[in-house]
Structure 1
Amino acid sequence: MAVKKTYRVIFHNQGEIYEIFVRNVYQSDMYGFIEVEGYLFGERSSVVVDPSEEKLKTTFEGVKRSFIPMQAIVRIDEVEREGQGKISSANGEKVTPFPIAPGPQGTP
């Protein structure tokens, strides 16, 4: 039986840091974007509800695939099992964009 890979993707979006768990991560056909799909959310049977994870579920409800700008990516890890996704405030943390080469025919 093939083992399904799980990825933790951390990215910066509108002053917040998103940490999500997905099945697939790959370079998009759209220049400068990473595609993520197969969102994984913890199905815990506990009574305690994490508002951050609930916000993630609501944000990505009905989303099949997301295109994240490369410069917004903080980190991508292949992990053994999914964890708890979350959204946290950047609280003034500086996220330095990854330098990218000019696009085709010298366009940025």
Structure 2
Amino acid sequence: MAQQPVYKVIFQNGSEVVEVYARQIYQSDLWGFIEIEEFVFGERSQLLVDPSEEKLKNTFSGVKRSYIPLHSVLRIDEVDKEGTGKISEAKPRGNVAAFPFPPNHPGQHGPED
């Protein structure tokens, strides 16, 4: 039997960059979201405990499925095996930022229509 793939998903949540591993990821029926299921965390048999991974475990404990906005996703990789999830501070890249704009919903028209 073939081993089920593992995906590394990196997304931005406020001022944090979150890296999680999951077995299921797909485009959601909710417009503009991806769904992440079956989160994978490292083994507890390690001697050292990573506080950011513990924070992730606590954040996603009891979560069956998570919906992440597409515009927050930085990268999705299919990997050979799971790694250690982590939360880190997003580092600003100079003084240039993306201009915020409202999402264009299907079937919705602008004021000039």
Same-fold status (TM-score > 0.5): yes
Q: Count how many residue pairs are aligned between Structure 1 and Structure 2.
A: 107
Aligned-residue offset at 1:107: 5.7
Other structure's SS at 1:66 match: strand
Return the TM-score normalized by structure 2.
Answer: 0.84
TM-score by length of 1: 0.88
1:84 alignment counterpart:
84
Deviating beyond 3 angstroms after TM superposition, the runs of 4 or more aligned structure 1 residues are: 93-97
The residue number in structure 2 matching 1:46 is 46
- C-alpha change, 1:10 and 1:29, in structure 2 (3 Å) is same
Give yes or no for the alignment of 1:7 onto 2:27.
no
Q: Which amino acid aligns with 1:67?
A: Y
Tell me how far 1:59 sits from its aligned partner: 0.5
Q: Which segments of 5 or more consecutive residues in structure 2 lack a partner in the other structure?
A: none
DSSP 3-state at the match of 1:104: coil
Q: 1:96: how far off?
A: 5.1
Aligned to 1:106: 108
**Partner secondary structure for residue 88 of structure 2:** strand
Moved more, 88-97 or 37-46: 88-97
